[in-house]
Structure 1
Amino acid sequence: MEKPGSQQKVPPPVPFDGAAGLDDAIVVALGCNDCGVWKDCREALEAALARFRAEGLDVVARSSWWRSAAWPDPDDPPFLNGVVIVRTEHGPHELMAALGRIEEAFGRQRGAANAPRTLDLDLIAYGRTTGDLDGLILPHPRAAVRRFVMGPLAEIAPGWVNPLTEQTAAQAADQAEVGCDARPTTGTT
């Protein structure tokens, strides 16, 4: 298991500069509601982001951290979520493998669906790629209805368009049906 590092100042959200174009955006969502060996979920998520580069992922934009009640069981600890846009030479399956290695290093245990977790990394979109790629469905089939994904994405790339629904991130965040309580926060979880 990855050990917590020294406490660092949390950087503010960095919007996507659009240099590569939103059509090429590779979007990854992060979540945590079990801080494991870290002092809180914010520290765990920041440590996960710090590991991205070692896996060949360069973060080019990042949201702030958003807090929401656990879903579907609000009695579970609340989540801290965020979204990043990355550049990588990895194809979609290689990227998923890299995300899995990071989750594993952070003590992610696969068990019951939606159970508390130390780290959850989801590939939301890989450019305009759509469909079932040998079990990897793109874009993420449930992201568009989750405010805790679309809200952070709208924060950094409001004009990002879901290649299936043709909704922008901002529109999807406004119409989300799950995690409607999700809000940006400066506190910790």
Structure 2
Amino acid sequence: MAQPARAVVALGSNLPGVQGSPVDLLEAALSLLSEAGLPVLRRSSWWMSSAWPDPSRNEYRNGVAIVEATMTPDAAIRRLLEIEVRLGRRRGSPNADRTLDLDLIDHTGCVIETADLVLPHPRAHERYFVMGPLAEIAPDWRHPTLGLTASDLAARAAVGRDARPAP
């Protein structure tokens, strides 16, 4: 039997929201992924890290989910944005504190660059708070353009090096 097509979704939060704490929001987002047609196949533990680029802001909780890619990449990113709004996300300036951030990191190895979507995610490979959780659940996942595994990228990631699994 063939493996289902897979996508990688990064989740992050550093502000409480409609569901409660950042971890409560992340758990709610995971539940809504399946409802949105992106069933979760695997998920990482929650990790914690300082805010970037300003570590004086609220600490982040991050994680990664591998979901079944049952729809196009454009449809998947629209569903992720809908979940963000449903759980209270209001967009501000780049790198601002946020209740919820859902990023499509990879969708079946597609390489796409449009005004609305860039795949693979253009900066995920630099972020330990993404690659660390991904390496936890899929160490052999390969970056579609760099060809390196999640484990290799986690070892090289320069941003968010203080990230670690939350207790």
Structure 2 residue aligned with 1:147: 128
Stretches of structure 1 lacking an aligned partner (at least 5 in a row): 1-18
Structure 1 residue aligned with 2:93: 112
Whether contact under 8 Å (2:143, 2:150) holds in the other structure is: yes
Structure 2 residue aligned with 1:83: 64
Structure 1 residue aligned with 2:118: 137
Residues 1:69 and 2:50 are matched in the alignment = yes
Tell me the number of residue pairs that the alignment of Structure 1 and Structure 2 aligns.
166
Residues 1:29 and 2:14 are matched in the alignment = no
Q: 1:168 aligns with which of 140, 149, 153?
A: 149
- Calculate the aligned-residue CA RMSD, in Å: 1.4
Structure 2 residue aligned with 1:15: none
Q: What is the TM-score with the length of structure 1 in the denominator?
A: 0.84
- Paired with 2:69 and 2:126, the residues of 1 have a C-alpha distance of 26
- Paired with 1:54 and 1:165, the residues of 2 have a C-alpha distance of 32
Q: Give the 3-state SS of the residue equivalent to 1:161 in structure 2.
A: coil
Letter of the aligned partner of 1:33 in structure 2?
Answer: N
% identical equivalent positions: 49
- Paired with 2:24 and 2:93, the residues of 1 have a C-alpha distance of 24
Compared with structure 1, are the counterparts of its residues 106 and 39 closer, same or farther at alpha carbon in structure 2 (3 Å cutoff)? closer
- Paired with 1:129 and 1:39, the residues of 2 have a C-alpha distance of 35
Task: Kindly state the Cα deviation for residue 38 of structure 1 after the two structures are TM-superposed.
Answer: 3.6
Q: What is the TM-score with the length of structure 2 in the denominator?
A: 0.94
Q: Give the 3-state SS of the residue equivalent to 2:146 in structure 1.
A: coil
Letter of the aligned partner of 1:89 in structure 2?
Answer: T
Task: Kindly state the Cα deviation for residue 116 of structure 1 after the two structures are TM-superposed.
Answer: 0.6
Runs of 4+ in 1 over 6 A off after TM superposition: none
